[in-house]
Amino acid sequence: MVNADPRHTHGHLDFFRCVCGPRAVLTDPQAQAPYLEERRGRFSGTAMAVVLPGSTAEVAAVVQYAHAQGIAMVPQGGHTGLCGGAVPDASGRQIILNLRRMRDILSIDTLEGTVTVQAGCRLADLQQAVEAKGWYFPLSLASAGECQIGGNLATNAGGHNVLRYGNVRELCRGLEVVLADGRVWSDLSGLPKNNSGYDLKQLFIGSEGTLGVITTAVLRLVRQPRQQLVALVPVPDIATALRLFGAINDEMGEALTAFELMSDFSMMLVARHFPEVVASLPLNSAWSVLVELSRPGTAEDLLSSFSGALDRSIGRTEMNDAVVARDLVQGSRLWAIRNAIPDAQRREGPSIKHDISLPRGQIAGFISELYPLGIGDGVANRP
């Protein structure tokens, strides 16, 4: 797209105000500030306006106008992305289209096990709403309190539960998208079986807003897990972590929900910046694994299968130091350690994020190559 001619800015702003309302078009630098800079301060830009549409029709009208006028647009959700994809350039001629006003949960279909939601709904709000009805939306990110469903879809977010439930691509049953010229493309039937042609929604998932603005989604829900076990297991090296992974997979693969490997460096950062989060935990091993298991059945069965897997894969000392949460509150305390890592890294200073996928068999070799180069300290890896 061509950037807008600055001489016409007033006319553009008048149009956006007319469509979305005067308070939904931010031009004041102070009001714009939170939308312009990535949270670690690594990427920043300027914008002609931050536009906050309140409906699909408003998004479509704004996009159609911007398309006709050659104004570049940056779709934005919760602005938690770490790659600068939601940040405008430095020209001041782009508009940010932030969907935070479009946050309604439109329906929860308990027969189908789906939720239809506007793209600006925060992930945590969606999770709470479906949990109140006995369902569970398994996308789980440390940024859940801020990121939006549209942003999750546009980045094909993975998160802690990717082992069990896949990326958000696998959780999406339907989308409504405003295309780059303002036309609305909609496939919100939510049917699990649809063999009627190309699965076009998949193009928009992971496209980082380059193909259109996601305005509504139908997402797949699962029943709330009946039994859940969360444990923090110290391990001396990656080979042991992989052995533990293999043993759990053999013993109870269907129950394995999350397996997060954390280095002593990242634990040290959490201890330094959030001492209350790690209080009283024995943190002297080179690596720690955070395991989450969930399945129907009794808590005793789950614990006994897990103990069997520990027994077959790690040493006696590590077993004694493993911390198994006794209830959901303790489980969320263990998760708080993992979730504090990004903020601890941010407080420590500049860091470079990478999200690398590898076959399990190559993880140990990859990390041992990176460490001597000083890269990879503090990485949270998932086998």
Torsion sign (Cα): 64, 66, 69, 71 = negative
| Residue 116 interacts with ligand FAD (CB under 6 A): yes or no | no
What is the closest distance, in whole angstroms, from the C-beta atom of residue 368 to ligand FAD in the complex?
Answer: 24
Q: Which of 53, 54, 78, 331 binds ligand FAD (CB under 6 A)?
A: 78
Of 241, 217, 223, 218, the C-alpha closest to 314 is 241
| Residue 99 interacts with ligand FAD (CB under 6 A): yes or no | yes
Q: Which stretch binds ligand FAD (CB under 6 A): 77-85, 190-198, 236-244, 274-282?
A: 77-85
In this structure, how many other beta carbons lie within 10 angstroms of the beta carbon of residue 214? 30
E strand or H helix that includes residue 368: helix 363-370
Residue number with the smallest Cβ distance to ligand FAD: 151
CB 214 within 8 A of CB 148: no
What is the closest distance, in whole angstroms, from the C-beta atom of residue 133 to ligand FAD in the complex?
Answer: 23
Of 34, 42, 50, 118, the C-alpha closest to 85 is 42
Between 12 and 41, how does the x/- string for binding to ligand FAD read (CB under 6 A)?
A: ------------------------------
Torsion sign (Cα): 363, 381, 208, 129 = positive
Total number of residues that touch ligand FAD (CB under 6 A) = 31
Q: Which of 20, 47, 157, 255 binds ligand FAD (CB under 6 A)?
A: 157
Between 125 and 154, how does the x/- string for binding to ligand FAD read (CB under 6 A)?
A: ----------------xxx---xx-xxx-x
What is the closest distance, in whole angstroms, from the C-beta atom of residue 128 to ligand FAD in the complex?
Answer: 17
Spatial neighbors of 249 by CB under 8 A, at least 6 apart, are 256
Spatial neighbors of 295 by CB under 8 A, at least 6 apart, are 225, 226, 227, 252, 254, 255, 302
Of 208, 175, 262, the C-alpha closest to 81 is 208
What is the closest distance, in whole angstroms, from the C-beta atom of residue 204 to ligand FAD in the complex?
Answer: 7
| Residue 214 interacts with ligand FAD (CB under 6 A): yes or no | yes
CB 334 within 8 A of CB 323: yes
| Look-up of token digits 């959780």 | 171
Q: Which stretch binds ligand FAD (CB under 6 A): 11-19, 81-89, 195-203, 237-245?
A: 81-89
| Look-up of token digits 């989060």 | 277
| Residue 77 interacts with ligand FAD (CB under 6 A): yes or no | yes
State the Cα–Cα distance between residues 325 and 334, nearest whole angstrom: 8
CA distances from 244 to 45, 56, 230 (A): 45, 48, 14
What is the closest distance, in whole angstroms, from the C-beta atom of residue 209 to ligand FAD in the complex?
Answer: 3
| Residue 158 interacts with ligand FAD (CB under 6 A): yes or no | yes
Query: What residues between 318 and 377 interact with ligand FAD by CB under 6 A?
Result: 342
The residues of the shown chain that bind ligand FAD, judged by CB under 6 A, are 74-82, 85-86, 99, 119, 141-143, 147-148, 150-152, 154-155, 157-159, 208-209, 213-214, 342
